[in-house]
Amino acid sequence: MTGLRKFVGAAGLVLGLALGSASLAADAWTPYHNPEFKFSVELPGTPSVRANPAQTPGGEAPGVIGQLPTAAGVLMFGANDYSALPRSSDLQARLEAAVAGAISNSKQTLDSETKITVGGVPGRDITAHNDSFVSRSRLLMTPDRLFIVVGVGAPVSAGVPAEYPRFALSLKPD
Protein backbone atom coordinates (compact mmCIF):
# COMPACT_ATOMS: atom_id res chain seq x y z
CA MET A 1 0.00 0.00 0.00
CA THR A 2 3.03 2.31 -0.16
CA GLY A 3 1.83 3.79 -3.46
CA LEU A 4 -1.51 4.66 -1.87
CA ARG A 5 0.29 6.24 1.06
CA LYS A 6 2.41 8.34 -1.31
CA PHE A 7 -0.74 9.24 -3.24
CA VAL A 8 -2.65 10.52 -0.22
CA GLY A 9 0.45 12.06 1.35
CA ALA A 10 1.03 14.07 -1.83
CA ALA A 11 -2.30 15.79 -1.28
CA GLY A 12 -0.76 18.32 1.09
CA LEU A 13 1.91 19.27 -1.45
CA VAL A 14 -0.52 19.54 -4.32
CA LEU A 15 -2.87 21.64 -2.22
CA GLY A 16 -0.49 24.59 -2.24
CA LEU A 17 -0.57 24.62 -6.04
CA ALA A 18 -4.31 24.16 -6.11
CA LEU A 19 -5.07 27.16 -3.95
CA GLY A 20 -3.34 29.43 -6.42
CA SER A 21 -5.24 28.09 -9.44
CA ALA A 22 -8.13 29.73 -11.21
CA SER A 23 -11.68 28.54 -10.65
CA LEU A 24 -12.96 25.92 -13.08
CA ALA A 25 -16.28 26.23 -14.87
CA ALA A 26 -18.97 23.94 -13.46
CA ASP A 27 -20.16 22.88 -16.92
CA ALA A 28 -16.71 22.00 -18.31
CA TRP A 29 -16.67 18.40 -17.05
CA THR A 30 -14.93 15.86 -19.26
CA PRO A 31 -14.41 12.11 -18.92
CA TYR A 32 -11.00 10.62 -18.23
CA HIS A 33 -10.68 6.92 -19.11
CA ASN A 34 -7.64 4.82 -18.33
CA PRO A 35 -7.72 1.60 -20.40
CA GLU A 36 -4.56 0.21 -18.76
CA PHE A 37 -5.98 0.36 -15.22
CA LYS A 38 -9.57 -0.11 -16.38
CA PHE A 39 -11.45 2.81 -14.82
CA SER A 40 -12.96 6.18 -15.64
CA VAL A 41 -13.79 9.41 -13.81
CA GLU A 42 -15.23 12.78 -14.80
CA LEU A 43 -13.37 15.99 -13.99
CA PRO A 44 -14.01 19.71 -14.46
CA GLY A 45 -10.82 20.05 -16.52
CA THR A 46 -7.79 18.15 -17.76
CA PRO A 47 -5.80 16.36 -15.05
CA SER A 48 -2.07 15.82 -14.90
CA VAL A 49 -1.43 12.06 -14.85
CA ARG A 50 1.70 10.04 -14.08
CA ALA A 51 2.83 6.55 -13.10
CA ASN A 52 2.62 5.76 -9.38
CA PRO A 53 3.68 2.17 -8.59
CA ALA A 54 3.03 0.76 -5.12
CA GLN A 55 5.70 -1.20 -3.29
CA THR A 56 4.16 -4.22 -1.57
CA PRO A 57 5.62 -7.20 0.31
CA GLY A 58 4.85 -9.25 -2.81
CA GLY A 59 6.52 -6.85 -5.23
CA GLU A 60 5.73 -3.71 -7.18
CA ALA A 61 2.12 -3.05 -8.24
CA PRO A 62 1.89 -0.78 -11.29
CA GLY A 63 -0.16 2.32 -10.65
CA VAL A 64 -1.35 5.67 -11.91
CA ILE A 65 -2.14 8.98 -10.17
CA GLY A 66 -3.92 12.02 -11.49
CA GLN A 67 -4.64 15.41 -10.04
CA LEU A 68 -6.56 18.53 -10.92
CA PRO A 69 -6.31 21.75 -8.91
CA THR A 70 -9.60 23.55 -8.20
CA ALA A 71 -10.37 26.95 -6.68
CA ALA A 72 -10.85 25.34 -3.24
CA GLY A 73 -8.29 22.53 -3.27
CA VAL A 74 -7.47 19.56 -5.45
CA LEU A 75 -9.19 16.50 -6.91
CA MET A 76 -7.01 13.39 -7.11
CA PHE A 77 -7.51 9.88 -8.46
CA GLY A 78 -5.45 6.75 -8.65
CA ALA A 79 -5.38 3.04 -9.27
CA ASN A 80 -2.98 0.17 -8.63
CA ASP A 81 -2.97 -3.22 -10.36
CA TYR A 82 -2.21 -6.15 -8.05
CA SER A 83 -3.09 -8.89 -10.57
CA ALA A 84 0.47 -10.23 -10.88
CA LEU A 85 1.14 -10.21 -7.12
CA PRO A 86 0.24 -12.55 -4.28
CA ARG A 87 -2.59 -11.01 -2.26
CA SER A 88 -5.42 -11.85 0.09
CA SER A 89 -8.75 -12.75 -1.46
CA ASP A 90 -10.47 -10.93 1.43
CA LEU A 91 -11.47 -7.64 -0.24
CA GLN A 92 -12.88 -6.21 3.01
CA ALA A 93 -9.58 -6.77 4.82
CA ARG A 94 -7.68 -5.22 1.91
CA LEU A 95 -10.00 -2.19 2.02
CA GLU A 96 -9.44 -1.79 5.75
CA ALA A 97 -5.67 -1.88 5.18
CA ALA A 98 -5.98 0.70 2.38
CA VAL A 99 -7.99 3.06 4.61
CA ALA A 100 -5.53 2.64 7.50
CA GLY A 101 -2.59 3.32 5.19
CA ALA A 102 -4.22 6.40 3.68
CA ILE A 103 -4.98 7.90 7.08
CA SER A 104 -1.56 7.08 8.55
CA ASN A 105 0.43 8.34 5.58
CA SER A 106 -1.50 11.61 5.28
CA LYS A 107 -1.13 12.17 9.05
CA GLN A 108 -4.85 12.74 9.36
CA THR A 109 -7.52 11.76 11.84
CA LEU A 110 -10.32 9.59 10.47
CA ASP A 111 -13.67 11.35 10.97
CA SER A 112 -15.98 8.85 9.29
CA GLU A 113 -15.93 5.60 7.35
CA THR A 114 -18.89 4.14 5.49
CA LYS A 115 -19.00 0.78 3.73
CA ILE A 116 -20.33 1.15 0.18
CA THR A 117 -20.85 -0.95 -2.92
CA VAL A 118 -20.65 0.57 -6.41
CA GLY A 119 -21.79 -1.65 -9.28
CA GLY A 120 -21.12 -4.72 -7.13
CA VAL A 121 -17.63 -3.50 -6.17
CA PRO A 122 -17.00 -3.10 -2.42
CA GLY A 123 -15.59 0.18 -1.17
CA ARG A 124 -15.31 2.82 1.51
CA ASP A 125 -16.23 6.47 1.72
CA ILE A 126 -14.05 8.22 4.28
CA THR A 127 -13.59 11.73 5.62
CA ALA A 128 -10.49 12.84 7.51
CA HIS A 129 -8.67 15.96 8.63
CA ASN A 130 -5.54 17.38 10.20
CA ASP A 131 -4.61 20.93 11.19
CA SER A 132 -3.84 21.91 7.57
CA PHE A 133 -6.44 20.25 5.37
CA VAL A 134 -9.56 18.15 5.16
CA SER A 135 -10.14 15.25 2.76
CA ARG A 136 -12.93 13.08 1.54
CA SER A 137 -12.11 9.85 -0.29
CA ARG A 138 -13.79 6.96 -2.05
CA LEU A 139 -11.88 3.67 -2.34
CA LEU A 140 -13.08 0.72 -4.43
CA MET A 141 -11.42 -2.73 -4.42
CA THR A 142 -11.76 -5.41 -7.09
CA PRO A 143 -9.85 -8.70 -6.88
CA ASP A 144 -7.06 -7.19 -9.02
CA ARG A 145 -7.20 -3.42 -8.48
CA LEU A 146 -7.58 -0.62 -5.95
CA PHE A 147 -9.22 2.61 -7.15
CA ILE A 148 -9.33 5.87 -5.20
CA VAL A 149 -10.66 9.39 -5.65
CA VAL A 150 -9.82 12.14 -3.16
CA GLY A 151 -10.99 15.71 -2.66
CA VAL A 152 -8.65 17.84 -0.54
CA GLY A 153 -9.49 21.30 0.77
CA ALA A 154 -7.81 23.93 2.93
CA PRO A 155 -8.26 25.47 5.28
CA VAL A 156 -10.17 22.81 7.17
CA SER A 157 -13.10 25.21 7.67
CA ALA A 158 -13.51 25.51 3.88
CA GLY A 159 -14.20 21.79 3.44
CA VAL A 160 -13.45 19.71 0.36
CA PRO A 161 -13.87 21.18 -3.12
CA ALA A 162 -17.50 21.65 -4.16
CA GLU A 163 -16.79 19.46 -7.20
CA TYR A 164 -15.96 16.41 -5.07
CA PRO A 165 -19.43 14.78 -4.87
CA ARG A 166 -19.85 14.66 -8.65
CA PHE A 167 -16.22 13.56 -9.09
CA ALA A 168 -16.56 10.75 -6.52
CA LEU A 169 -19.80 9.46 -7.99
CA SER A 170 -18.23 9.36 -11.45
CA LEU A 171 -15.58 6.76 -10.47
CA LYS A 172 -16.35 3.59 -12.43
CA PRO A 173 -14.17 0.51 -12.69
CA ASP A 174 -14.50 -1.04 -16.19
Cβ neighbours of residue 159 closer than 8 Å, sequence gap 6 or more: 72, 134, 153
33 vs 105, higher pLDDT: 33
Helix (H) or strand (E) holding 14, with range, is helix 2-19
Q: Is the pLDDT of residue 108 over 80?
A: yes
What is residue 95's predicted lDDT score, i.e. its pLDDT? 94
Q: Is the pLDDT of residue 9 over 80?
A: no
Q: Is the pLDDT of residue 123 over 80?
A: yes
Q: Is the pLDDT of residue 6 over 60?
A: no
Average pLDDT of span 111-124: 96
| Distance separating alpha carbons of residues 117 and 108, to the nearest angstrom | 24
Query: Model pTM?
Result: 0.83
Q: Is the pLDDT of residue 173 over 90?
A: yes
| Distance separating alpha carbons of residues 162 and 167, to the nearest angstrom | 10
Peptide bond into 155 cis (omega under 30): yes
Rg (the chain; Cα; Å): 15
Q: pLDDT tens digit string along 64-96?
A: 999 999 988 999 999 999 998 888 889 999 999
At the second CATH level, the architecture of 2-21+29-173 is: 3-Layer(aba) Sandwich (3.40)
What is residue 2's predicted lDDT score, i.e. its pLDDT? 52
Going by pLDDT thresholds of 50, 70 and 90, the confidence category of residue 161 is very high
Going by pLDDT thresholds of 50, 70 and 90, the confidence category of residue 14 is very low
Q: Is the pLDDT of residue 12 over 70?
A: no
Contact 49, 78 (CB under 8 A): no
